[in-house]
């Protein structure tokens, strides 16, 4: 099968498309013929091996899995002998730790869910990691409830575009922060208010919010906290921090600060929960969540897709079709 592979850490130029062996499903696995795979900043970090702390998980000298990519949607080609929930021919979406920028991916059966009726494979592939992060941030960490005020920075990005919609589905009054060119997009996602950061600094405005999901490290934590209510919740979902620790540096600062204030500073890492794929499928089915697709690239241009993601100006999601 054709796949994008990398033999070492580095920029997108380390990627090449070549023929590799077809993976074989184990007893509890599903072999999926991949139709589309989305890419996000996490894929770029793993590909580049920076911040270096990631190499403790993904391989010290080279990537443990030579095929990049995590999110996908496709058609079940074969199932292991213990799999009963899906069958060949079913359209599914989900995630794989073995790489998805390939014609086929071998996935544990509990890492997939049926593609909702009316959702294309391109749209479904855009969902798993980014939408799951937004869901868990709004539902599990912030515990958003009707009537609360929620501000989301990077509201036009991958996580942000889902978070706006999910917070609205939970009954919140949502403010999205984005650039001028994305104001109409964020408003179309359901945001009650939109702040153009090129004109207004939300940390210096009068409004205060019950929840802030900070997807863009454009302001110091102290500045972002000014926009919180006295007992509000700040979720830092971003951070640069250099080539060694990356976002971990900001996460540590937030955790330390949380012990000295009534405000709740809650950095988190999303957890891949199979039942949350079903929750996201329900939100897609009811129309409460619609993926925003920025660009679509063919498999041979996967390196260009990752370059575009690394630039940091995506509107929604970037998808690679196979």
297-319: per-residue pLDDT in tens?
999 999 999 999 999 889 999 99
The answer on pLDDT for 42 being more than 80 is yes
- Other Cβ atoms less than 10 A from the Cβ of 48: the count is 18
Superfamily designation of domain 2-127+291-321: Medium-chain alcohol dehydrogenases, catalytic domain (3.90.180.10)
The answer on pLDDT for 257 being more than 60 is yes
* More confident: 245 or 233: 233
Helix (H) or strand (E) holding 225: helix 221-225
Q: Please confirm whether the linkage preceding 79 is cis (ω < 30° from 0).
A: no
- Sequence-ordered list of residues with C-beta below 8 angstroms from that of 191, at least 6 positions apart, any chain: 152, 155, 164, 168, 174, 175, 176
- Reference 195, options 173, 175, 214, 172; nearest CA is 175
Least confident of 263-267, 274-278, 285-289, 303-307: 263-267
Of the candidate CATH numbers 3.40.630.30, 3.30.2010.10, 3.40.47.10, 3.40.50.720, the domain formed by 129-265 belongs to: 3.40.50.720
- Sequence-ordered list of residues with C-beta below 8 angstroms from that of 259, at least 6 positions apart, any chain: none
Exposed (0-12), middle (13-18) or buried (19+): which is 7, by Cβ within 10 Å? exposed
* Collapsed DSSP state (helix, strand, coil) of residue 175: strand
The answer on pLDDT for 244 being more than 50 is no
Phi, psi of 107 (to 5 degrees): -135, 140
Q: CA separation (Å) from 88 to 92, 100, 104, 122, 209?
A: 10, 18, 13, 20, 48
* More confident: 45 or 169: 169
Read off the tokens for 232: 């509000």
Q: What is the pTM of this model?
A: 0.92
- Reference 245, options 51, 13, 41; nearest CA is 51
Mean pLDDT to the nearest integer, 150-160: 97
Strands 71-79 and 91-95: antiparallel
The number of angstroms, rounded, from the C-alpha of 247 to the middle of its chain's C-alpha atoms is: 15
Predicted local distance difference test score (pLDDT) of residue 239: 54
Predicted local distance difference test score (pLDDT) of residue 243: 56
Mean pLDDT of the chain: 92
Distance CA(300)–CA(139), nearest Å, equals 38
The answer on pLDDT for 258 being more than 80 is no
Q: CA separation (Å) from 250 to 106, 217, 230?
A: 35, 9, 21
Delimit the domains of the chain by residue range.
Answer: 2-127+291-321, 129-265
Predicted local distance difference test score (pLDDT) of residue 201: 96
Mean pLDDT to the nearest integer, 55-83: 88
pLDDT bin (cut points 50, 70, 90) of residue 249 is low
* More confident: 123 or 50: 123
Predicted local distance difference test score (pLDDT) of residue 39: 97
- Sequence-ordered list of residues with C-beta below 8 angstroms from that of 286, at least 6 positions apart, any chain: none
* Collapsed DSSP state (helix, strand, coil) of residue 245: helix
The 10s digit of each residue's pLDDT in 8-39 is 999 999 999 999 999 999 999 999 999 999 99
């Amino acid at each position: 099968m054709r796949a994008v592979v990398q033999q070492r850490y580095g920029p997108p130029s380390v990627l090449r498309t070549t023929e590799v062996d077809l993976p074989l499903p184990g007893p509890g696995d599903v072999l999926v013929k991949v139709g589309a795979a989305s890419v996000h900043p996490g894929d770029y970090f793993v590909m580049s091996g920076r911040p270096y702390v990631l190499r403790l998980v993904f391989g010290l000298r080279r990537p443990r899995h030579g095929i990049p990519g995590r999110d996908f949607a496709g058609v079940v080609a074969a199932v292991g002998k213990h799999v009963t929930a899906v069958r060949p021919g079913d359209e599914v979406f989900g995630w794989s730790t073995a790489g998805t920028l390939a014609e086929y991916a071998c996935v544990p059966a509990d890492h997939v869910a049926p593609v909702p009726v009316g959702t294309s494979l391109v749209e479904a592939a855009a969902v798993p990691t980014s939408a799951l992060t937004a869901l868990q941030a709004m539902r599990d960490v912030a515990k958003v409830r009707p009537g609360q005020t929620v501000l989301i920075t990077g509201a036009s990005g991958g996580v942000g575009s889902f978070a706006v919609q999910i917070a609205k589905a939970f009954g919140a009054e949502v403010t999205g922060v984005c650039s001028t060119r994305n104001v109409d997009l964020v408003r179309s996602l359901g945001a009650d208010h939109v702040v153009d950061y090129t004109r207004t600094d939300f940390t210096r405005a009068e409004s205060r919010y019950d929840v802030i999901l900070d997807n863009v490290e454009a302001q110091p934590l102290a500045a972002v906290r000014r926009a919180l209510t006295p007992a509000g919740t700040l979720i830092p979902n971003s951070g640069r921090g250099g080539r060694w620790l990356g976002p971990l540096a900001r996460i540590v600062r937030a955790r330390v600060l949380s012990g000295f204030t009534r405000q709740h500073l809650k950095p988190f890492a999303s957890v891949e929960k199979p039942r949350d794929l079903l929750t996201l499928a329900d939100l897609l089915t009811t129309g409460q969540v619609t993926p925003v697709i920025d660009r679509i690239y063919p498999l041979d241009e996967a390196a260009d897709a990752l370059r575009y993601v690394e630039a940091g100006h995506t509107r929604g999601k970037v998808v690679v079709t196979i």
